[in-house]
Amino acid sequence: LALAPVAAPPASVDGFVRRFLQNLNFDQGVALSTSDDNDRYLALAGTVRDYLMARWLDDQAQQSRQQSKTVCYLSAEYLLGRQLDNNLLAARLTEIATEALAQCGIDIDDLRALEIEPGLGNGGLGRLAACFIDSLATMSIPTIGYGIRYEYGIFRQAFADGQQVEQPDAWLRLGSPWDFPHPEAAQTISFGGRTETYDDDGVERTRWVPEWNVLAVPYNMMVPGYHNGRVNTLRLWRAVATNAFDLHTFNSGDYVASVRAQTFAENISKVLYPEDSTPQGKELRLQQQYFFVAASIADFVEHVLPDGFDLTKLPERVIFQLNDTHPVIGVPELMRVLVDEKGMEWDAAWAITQKCFAYTCHTLLPEALEVWSVDLLGRLLPRHLEIIYRINDAFLLEVRERFGDDEMLIRDMSIIGEHPFRSVRMAYLATVAGSKVNGVAELHSQLLRDNVLKDFARMWPEKFTNVTNGVTPRRFLRLANPELSTLITETLGAGWTVDLERLRGLEAYADDPEFRERFAAVKAANKRRLSRVLAARDGTTIDDGHLLDVMIKRLHEYKRQTLKVLHIVSAYDEIVSGRVPVEKVQPRTFLFGAKAAPGYAMAKHIIHLINAVGEVVNADPRVEGRLKVLYPSNYNVTLAESIIPAADLSEQISLAGKEASGTGNMKLALNGALTIGTDDGANVEIRQLVGDDNFFLFGMSEPEVEALWAEGYRPADFYHEDERLRRAIDLIAAGAFSGGDRSVFEPLISNLLYDDRFMALADFGSYLDAQERVDAAYADQDAWVRSAILNVARSGFFSSDRAMRDYLDRIWHATPVH
């Protein structure tokens, strides 16, 4: 009986109703008549989960029979977004569920709105991981996403007097129907202590004698492929205290204190760090990293591989993809497992390890490159530090063999840095250990080879490759933009959802008046839909006829939200100073969405400024409502799904050479927004694909940025030379947006005038010129809509399915299991 195949509930309205009621009665413990919306939501989610579960169990069984290579994606973040709609869509249950609930007298939309999205990531990097696991499931690639089940995800952002305040994201509060714990598969993860050598039958070996440990309990989430019946696994680890912990370390007879001390271990998975650059070197963060990576490697070796597996064949069965440096401690961990625990020779273990890892870099900012002080790492993970030293010794020998005794070069390339303190350079460790190193857009990968990792690229040119990022068309087109999806399907057939290059077929319709009209109608409907969403949240609206100009991304100086604000202030100034008659102004709504890291003071000043400018501009009758600034708080995946389909203009205005790729740029182009952007990250590739006529390029190129730095950049020169810029800055400085108080934005203004690391002032003139081209272009609606259609038609390349094919061909060499 135990071996009987599991059967999913029948995929019919009746079957769904039965299962739903069963869940409501027996899992939630309520009758339909007395249930509230949250009971109903949980029962609905549980029902969808039941359908997926049968397939998931099947796939698990099949995968272990086939013994094929598995992609283990190691990521400290997964920014998943809501699950319900995505899972209904993937399992072809949307209509069945809608009808089934209607039969129970329930409007499914009321329940949709209740889902709290799992915000287990900061931004681009975490969302990328979520797109990748969606594509891998859709492509039937055996994959396990490994990560952390943070109890609190990215904070909820609120505004108080225009300033950001952070609130905890208790996303598990009302129950978590999408994941389920597997306590029987828990791993014990150790920390601290010391190492010792011992005699093993005449061979001297080293072992780690840790001081404390914690239990890692896996929670599985199902990752359904789109319409292919496949369900992959996202395995997120939660930290739970072990008994050994309180007995071993805290057994001083104080029972209550020892129980209380358990919460110390459970802190490890308590909260997502909200910084997405300039890592702080906090011990808890290193604990998180080691915790999830050690648990994942042990899980793969003990539970995914068959008993008695010959570990010399490990590279045939797994590739551990390192999503940035956060999981790089996995490199010495695998070495420790192979050498200390499995008794393998160092060289053999190293050869295996090098084949099992590959590293994706997501940044170019030097301050974002992660380092860990030797002091801290040695205290928390003494054996790993020894292993890192030994890896480095062997590596530096190789450098000497290759390039001679160039001590400068040795110092520059060493995995151990000496200044300002002794530290482990995680990006270097990843580069030395990985079979491949990739950047996330062509320009970024080139800059990695030329600058950040140039010595390594000289040593191992074949190690370096590019995989331009991508986004999942299921969530960001099919689900987020149902009306455009319907139009596309009616025009081209349904295959585009899994073969996005088919959107090319729309080029033929760019000049078709009827198609244009329908396309424009979809955009207008999406704007009205967004307007309703905003009205319900904040009481704000988007007026008909307005160009919707959106900048949605984390708040960062390099992304240059300030440049956007200077444009708004300048446009406002032109009206109120009477230089431009208000009736000549193209009506525009500027929409921002952005969270700032809580400790990032300048980013918080910028948030305050955006809100302050919005308050003045929106209330000034002289503007006659033609300029409007909206800044809904708590931008997240759910809100993105409403904004992106409505956008006309996509702001991608980072300083050239600073944005590794960007992925919002892709989502917006795919939904028919035109980009105003610099030659940075994936913008370069978007422009190449959509064509110069359908993209508003401005600003310095990366080599021009370098040249201006080299000659000595003085932002104040630009201030003095450009009247529009001077007027905009003076207006802010004079207190026009702070009730006359000049001190409020003083730090921001002096930063711009005397530092301006990201050269906003240097690009201002060019940016304003480009914005004038935008206004002119928008005035010709026919031509604009044509460009928007061409943006959609030519964005197929940016599917994460394509990105996965590139990873598979260039790095992973894994194949589908059907």
Residues of this chain that interact with ligand 26M (CB under 6 A) are: 122-125, 128, 273, 275-277, 279, 285, 362-363, 370, 440, 469, 659-663, 681
Between 75 and 485, CB nearer to ligand 26M: 75
Our CB check for ligand 26M shows the closer of 617 and 705 to be 705
CB of 205 to ligand 26M, least distance (A): 34
Smallest gap from Cβ 135 to ligand 26M, in A, equals 14
Encoded tokens for 436? 């491949």
Query: Cis (ω within 30 of 0) for the bond into 420?
Result: yes
Q: Output the six-digit token pair for 281.
A: 């070197």
Minimum Å gap between C-beta 346 and ligand 26M is 30
CB 713 within 8 A of CB 719: no
Sign for the CA dihedral angle at 254, 258, 259, 264 comes to: positive
Pick 427 or 575: Cβ nearer ligand 26M? 427
- Concerning whether 663 is annotated as a catalytic residue, the answer is yes
Selected catalytic residue, list 49, 82, 362, 560: 362
Q: By three-state DSSP, how is residue 352 classified?
A: helix
Cβ at position 370, least distance to ligand 26M in Å: 6
Q: Which residue is nearest to ligand 26M (CB)?
A: 124
Q: How far is the CB of 324 from ligand 26M (least distance, A)?
A: 6
Shortest Å, Cβ 681 to ligand 26M: 5
**Geometric angle at alpha carbon 292, from 287 and 294, rounded to 5°:** 90
Residues in Cβ contact with 408 at an 8 Å cutoff, skipping those fewer than 6 apart: none
Burial of 604 (0-12, 13-18, 19+ CB in 10 A): middle
> What values do phi and psi take at 260, rounded to 5?
-60, -35
Shortest Cβ 264–ligand 26M spacing (Å): 20
> SS3 for 272?
coil
> For ligand 26M, which is the closer residue by CB, 79 or 760?
79
Q: Which is nearer to ligand 26M, 220 or 363 (CB)?
A: 363
CA 83, distance to chain mean position in Å, is: 16
Contact 248, 192 (CB under 8 A): no
Q: Give strand pairing partners of 271.
A: 152
Q: Which is nearer to ligand 26M, 262 or 373 (CB)?
A: 373
Residue whose CB is less far from ligand 26M, 275 or 398: 275
CB of 318 to ligand 26M, least distance (A): 23
Query: Nearer Cβ to ligand 26M, position 364 or 533?
Result: 364
Residue 425's contacts (CB-CB under 8 Å, 6 or more residues apart) are: 369, 371, 414, 415, 416, 417
* Rounded Cα gap, residues 227 and 222, in angstroms: 14
Catalytic residue among 336, 463, 546, 553: 553
Is 560 in contact with 715 (CB distance < 8 Å)? Answer: no
Residue 407 tokens read as 């001590």
* Cβ partners under 8 Å of residue 804, min gap 6: 132, 135, 136, 139, 141, 470
* Contact indicator for 344, 200 with CB cutoff of 8 Å: no
Q: Encoding tokens for residue 385?
A: 């530090």
- 362 an active-site residue? yes
CA 370 from centre of chain: 17
**Is the CB of 89 or the CB of 328 nearer to ligand 26M?**
328
Least CB distance to ligand 26M at residue 553 (A): 9
Query: Looking at 70, 325, 497, 663, which residue is catalytic?
Result: 663
Catalytic member of 127, 564, 667, 802: 667
Cβ contacts of 63 within 8 Å, gap of 6 or more: 70, 142, 817
Does residue 270 have an active-site annotation? no
Q: How far is the CB of 322 from ligand 26M (least distance, A)?
A: 13
DSSP structure string for 687-755: HHHH-GGGEEE-S--HHHHHHHHHH---HHHHHHH-HHHHHHHHHHHTTTTTTT-TTTTHHHHHHHHHT
Distance CA 127, CA 472 (A): 10
Closest CB 120 distance from ligand 26M, rounded Å: 11
Alpha-carbon distance of 285 to 267, in angstroms, equals: 11
230 or 553, CB closer to ligand 26M?
553
Q: Catalytic pick from 149, 516, 559, 595?
A: 559
Question: For this structure, is 815 an active site residue?
Answer: no
Residue type, 551: M
Q: Which is nearer to ligand 26M, 478 or 667 (CB)?
A: 667
Question: What minimum distance in Å lies between the beta carbon of 677 and ligand 26M?
Answer: 13
CB of 724 to ligand 26M, least distance (A): 29
Q: Which of 55, 127, 230, 554 is catalytic?
A: 554
User: For 303-341, b where at least 16 C-beta lie within 10 A, e where not — what string?
Assistant: ebbeeeeebeebbebbbbbbbbbbbbbbbbbbbbbbbbe
Would you state the torsion angle of the CA atoms of residues 103, 106, 107, 110, taken in this order, to the nearest 10 degrees? -160
Asked whether the beta carbons of 219 and 180 are under 8 A apart, the reply is yes
Q: Closest CB to ligand 26M among 285 and 478? A: 285
Q: 279: which residues sit within 8 A by CB, 6+ positions away?
A: 285, 368, 370, 371
Interaxial angle between packed helices 723-733 and 561-576, expressed in degrees from 0 to 180 and rounded to the nearest 10: 90
Cα angle, residue 325 at apex, residues 324 and 328 outer, rounded to 5°: 125
Q: Is 143 a catalytic residue?
A: no
Nearer residue to ligand 26M within complex by CB, 292 or 300: 292
Q: Alpha-carbon dihedral of residues 434, 439, 440, 441, nearest 10 degrees? A: -150
Q: 608 catalytic, yes or no?
A: no
Residues annotated as catalytic (active site), given as ranges: 362, 553-554, 559, 663, 667
